[in-house]
Amino acid sequence: MNAKKDCYVIEGDTLKRTRRHCPKCGPGIFLAQHSDRESCGRCGYTEFKKKE
């Protein structure tokens, strides 16, 4: 399990998010990255990745 601090990176004087946040839950709730999808552990929102 990743810590919340691993979802950010410091660039100069600003913080940058490394993962997308859940569109339903809002900022602060990040989508988990799986091999075939991104999903929210809080509300269950899922986006499947396109197969190429």
| pTM score above 0.75 | no
Number of domains in the chain: 1
- How far is 20 from 7, CA to CA, in rounded Å? 9
| pLDDT given at position 36 | 93
Q: Which residues contact 33 (CB under 8 A, 6 or more apart)?
A: 19
Residue 9 token pair: 């990176």
| Structural domain span for residue 21 | 4-48
Q: What is the pLDDT of residues 3-52, one digit of tens each?
A: 778 888 999 999 898 889 999 999 889 899 999 999 999 999 999 998 77
CA distances 28 to 1, 22, 48, 50, Å, are 16, 8, 21, 25
